[in-house]
Amino acid sequence: MPDKNQSYKKFSYDAHARTCAPDDFLGQTRRTVQGVPVSEDQIQMIIAAIKSGLELAPADVLLELACGNGYLSRLLFGYCQDYLGTDISEYLVSVAKKNFEALPHYQFLMSGATEYINLEPRPERFTKVLCYAGFQYFPDEQAYGILKAIFERFRNVRTIFIGNIPDRDRAANFYKTGLPSEEELSDSNTSIGIWRSMAGVERLAVGAGWQVQFSFMPAEFNGSHYRYDALLRR
């Protein structure tokens, strides 16, 4: 079992992505299993879950927070009228702009989620919000603030899909040789981010005004044994 007093590594997606090849889109965002990029059927399961959860329609204007390099995002372009993806990583956004941006309807922007949510001049234009595999990198106070600001400012957003959340109650399914310290499991600056129970996510969401429904990916999905998705509605 790991030494609970042992220090652990911090992680930066921006720094990691810069070590990957410019066209290693899955490697840049660590959408890998033991260093090997996930298969196309895994990617399609993710896209299917997002489309179904958000009930994407041709007239929707989709906002994605923590969009990364846009590799997954591009697969949603055909299912909505307009799209804006934001991410705090300068490098990942530059990759998205170079390879996947399709102006004027599908755009990427470098911005922290809190900054963007609070400063967007036309929040009423958006109808759906997505945050896939990114929510765990927002500390509780920031996560609550983002959800609250969306509820108050983005009045036409009826649905938020938060995907691929590491489940605190099933962390032992991932750390088979012993759990890390509570400090590490609660740190947003690790490679996996914060492990939150469904009850923990529900407290954040309900406190910000949202109703919550949880779901799980099919058993054949590589992270189904320790991750879950959350659908927030007004």
CATH (domain of 18): 3.40.50.150
Q: Is residue 3 part of a domain?
A: no
CA 33 from chain centre, in angstroms, equals 18
Among 6-15, 88-97, 209-218, the minimum mean pLDDT is found in: 6-15
pLDDT at 1: 41
For residue 226, the model assigns a pLDDT of 98
108 close to 97: Cβ distance less than 8 angstroms = yes
Closest to 59 measured CA to CA, from 107, 4, 11, 128: 128
Examine residue 200 and state whether it is found in any structural domain, yes or no. yes
Instruction: Say whether pLDDT at 3 is over 60.
Output: no
- Phi and psi at 35, nearest 5°, equal 85, -5
**Position 8 in a domain:** no
Measured in residues, the chain has a length of 234
Residue 17: CB atoms within 10 Å: 23
Under 8 Å between Cβ of 120 and 152: no
Residue 5 belongs to a domain: no
Strands (E), the chain: 32-33, 36-37, 61-65, 82-87, 106-110, 128-132, 159-166, 211-215, 227-233
Both structure tokens of 94: 């530059």
And the tokens for 93? 């956004």
- 87-105 pLDDT tens trace: 999 999 999 999 999 999 9
- State the pLDDT confidence band at 50, using cuts at 50, 70 and 90: very high
Between strands 82-87 and 61-65, the pairing is: parallel
In a domain, 144, yes or no: yes
Position 158 in a domain: yes
CA atoms within 13 A on the CB side of 182: 0
Instruction: Quote the number of domains for the chain.
Output: 1
pLDDT band with cut points at 50, 70 and 90 for residue 6: low
User: Residue 33 has what pLDDT?
Assistant: 86
Q: In this structure, are residues 33 and 26 in contact, taking their beta carbons and an 8 Å threshold?
A: no
Tokens (6 digits) for 96: 């998205």
State the Cα–Cα distance between residues 230 and 10, nearest whole angstrom.
26
Phi first, then psi, for residue 143 (nearest 5°) are: -60, -45
Residue 211 scores a pLDDT above 50: yes
Sheet with 211-215: list strands edge to edge: 106-110, 82-87, 61-65, 128-132, 159-166, 227-233, 211-215
pLDDT at 2 over 90: no
- For 216, the domain range is 13-233
Is the pLDDT score of 232 beyond 80?
yes
Region 56-78 average pLDDT: 98
pLDDT tens-digit readout, 149-173: 999 999 999 999 999 999 999 999 9
List, in sequence order, every residue forming a beta bridge with 162; answer none if it has no partner.
131, 230
Question: Per the domain annotation, does 208 fall within a domain?
Answer: yes
Residue 2 lies in a domain: no
